[in-house]
Amino acid sequence: MRIAIIGAGYAGLSCALRLAHKHGGRAEITLINGSESFVERIRLHEQAAGKQPRALPLSERVRGTGVRLRVGWVERVDLQGRTLSVGGELVGWDRLVLALGSHTETRSAPGIREHAHTLDAAGSATLSALLPKIAAKRGRVVIVGGGLTGIEAATELAEAHPQLNVKLVTRGELAPGFSERARAKMRTSLLRTGVEIVEQRAVRSVEPGQLDTALGKLPFDACVWAVGFVAPPLARELGLAVNERGQVWVDATLRSESHPHVYAVGDCAVLREPLGIALPMGCKGALPSGLHVANNIARALTGKREHPFTYREVPYCVSLGRNDGLLQLPGGGVVAGRLAARLKELICRGTLWALALEQRRARPLFLLRGRSALPAHGTHPHSAQA
Ligand SMILES: Cc1cc2nc3c(=O)[nH]c(=O)nc-3n(C[C@H](O)[C@H](O)[C@H](O)COP(=O)(O)OP(=O)(O)OC[C@H]3O[C@@H](n4cnc5c(N)ncnc54)[C@H](O)[C@@H]3O)c2cc1C
């Protein structure tokens, strides 16, 4: 069976590696990703603040597992003919896993794409180079978005560049959905790092050098747009059933409701009620869903029934600079300060450890299975990078 996985973020890479470990020589796995490096998205605010990103080439992450890596953007998928095209080549598949991830929503107001930065790999690199220059003249940075990404970015940038004048602007209240204690803690940490909190301020548009808001203009030297994530348009363009954020509606086994030979995992998937669980857009949803689909495909390969996905709610852990953080416990209590910062760091490292463990499990099996089931690495027509 040919399995193609589009997207090598937390969900897609974990899916590919687990499948390599479990397929028992019955599958050819092709993993396709837009960039040749794994992007540690959960650290992009740290990178915007000046931290050097770690080099994480995907070729090393799949080495020795039998997973064929293709680097390129998938532009077309033929759901009837079961092919996809990447870099002008056709890749055939019997099962397709969409692990497309998400990106910052930039269509909700005019001028965002022209005049604001987002926390993707390119945006973070640009900010990392730009902010020291703005800080040197005691300039102004506005961050739009009062959710976790905005809060983590604001504390991180203000802590790394104390000369900056940082404002966090949000349409409603800060950190909606968090307990009062958690929100009070986040507020204290923001103020401690010198961030000015501007709540109840809807942004109408981003203009060169200023935000146009319902209550007047807010000038800036750099604007970071961090209002929330949407899925890439590919799934909608293919005609899959998607929600308003472009996420694929999936059933309990994480198969597309409209196209059951297509699975969706991570940020680009949404589970239909009444399962009653909104898969969070985060690593805590991406890693388990990627692994679950791999397990299910491996079961299907041996004629076994696929299992429904079960997701256990994991507490949110938020970084508030390098030495401060917050963990909201079930019931609304919080663990805060240095301990929470250490926990958060452990969680970030843990995502890479989990992926490394999957790779380690897959490697010896690939060697034991021999290369009879799969063509040698680098000789298959689809193995452009490995
Ligand atoms: C600043 C920041 C901080 C965050 N902090 C946290 C946190 O503390 N905890 C948490 O749980 N989450 C956090 N998140 C969210 C988390 O990063 C995402 O939820 C997670 O990355 C989703 O994983 P994923 O595998 O679904 O998608 P992604 O990691 O986005 O990976 C998707 C991959 O698909 C590839 N791709 C997409 N379309 C195509 C295509 N057409 N062709 C080829 N390749 C394609 C992309 O190149 C990308 O590599 C944070 C995000 C940001 C930006």
pLDDT along the chain (386 residues), means of 10: 97 97 88 97 98 95 96 95 94 98 96 98 98 98 97 98 98 92 96 97 97 96 96 97 95 95 96 69 94 96 92 87 93 91 96 96 78 39 29
Q: What is the pLDDT of residue 383?
A: 31
CA 290 to chain centre: 12
pTM tops 0.75: yes
Question: CB burial class (10 A; 0-12, 13-18, 19+) of residue 106?
Answer: middle
Q: Distance between CA atoms of 270 and 229, rounded to whole angstroms?
A: 13
What is the chain's Cα-based Rg?
Answer: 22
Q: C-alpha angle with apex 225: 172 to 215, nearest 5 degrees?
A: 45
Phi and psi, residue 211, nearest 5° = -95, 140
Mutation choice for ligand 1 from 10, 32, 41, 119, CB with most ligand atoms inside 8 A: 41
Residue with the smallest CA separation from ligand 1 atom 4 is 42
* Residue 99 Cβ contacting ligand 1 at under 6 Å: yes
Say how many Å lie between the CA of residue 370 and the centre of ligand 1: 33
Position of tokens 């739009």?
144
Q: What is the pLDDT of residue 371?
A: 52
Q: Which long-range contacts (CB under 8 A, 24 or more apart) does 216-221 make?
A: 218/142, 218/167, 218/169, 219/140, 220/140, 220/141, 220/142, 220/167, 221/134, 221/137, 221/139, 221/140, 221/141
Position of tokens 């507490």?
315
Instruction: Take residue 358 and report the two structure tokens written for it.
Output: 């999957």
Q: Distance between CA atoms of 273 and 204, rounded to whole angstroms?
A: 33
Say whether the peptide bond before residue 110 is cis (omega within 30 degrees of 0): no
**Biggest distance spanned by C-alpha atoms of the chain:** 68
Return the H-helix or E-strand segment holding 124: helix 121-136
Q: Which string of b and e fits 34-66 if b means at least 16 CB within 10 Å?
A: beebbbbbbbbbbbbbbbebeeeebeebbebbb
Yes or no: say if 57 and 94 are a contact pair by the CB < 8 Å rule: no
Position of tokens 């935000």?
211
Say how many Å lie between the CA of residue 102 and the centre of ligand 1: 6
Q: How far apart are the first and last CA of the chain?
A: 21
Mutation choice for ligand 1 from 100, 149, 250, CB with most ligand atoms inside 8 A: 100
* Residue 85 Cβ contacting ligand 1 at under 6 Å: no
Q: Distance between CA atoms of 66 and 366, rounded to whole angstroms?
A: 6
Q: What is the pLDDT of residue 58?
A: 98
Q: Distance between CA atoms of 63 and 362, rounded to whole angstroms?
A: 10
* Residue 10 Cβ contacting ligand 1 at under 6 Å: yes
Mutation choice for ligand 1 from 17, 42, 291, CB with most ligand atoms inside 8 A: 42
Yes or no: say if 285 and 267 are a contact pair by the CB < 8 Å rule: yes
Mapped onto helix, strand or coil, the DSSP state of residue 221 is coil
76 contact partners, CB below 8 Å, separation of at least 6: 84, 85
Residue 277's CB: how many other CB atoms inside 10 A?
14
Nearest C-alpha neighbor of 197 from the set 216, 183, 210: 183
Q: What is the pLDDT of residue 277?
A: 60
Phi and psi, residue 281, nearest 5° = -80, 90
Mapped onto helix, strand or coil, the DSSP state of residue 242 is strand
Q: What is the pLDDT of residue 143?
A: 98
Question: CB burial class (10 A; 0-12, 13-18, 19+) of residue 265?
Answer: buried
* Residue 340 Cβ contacting ligand 1 at under 6 Å: no
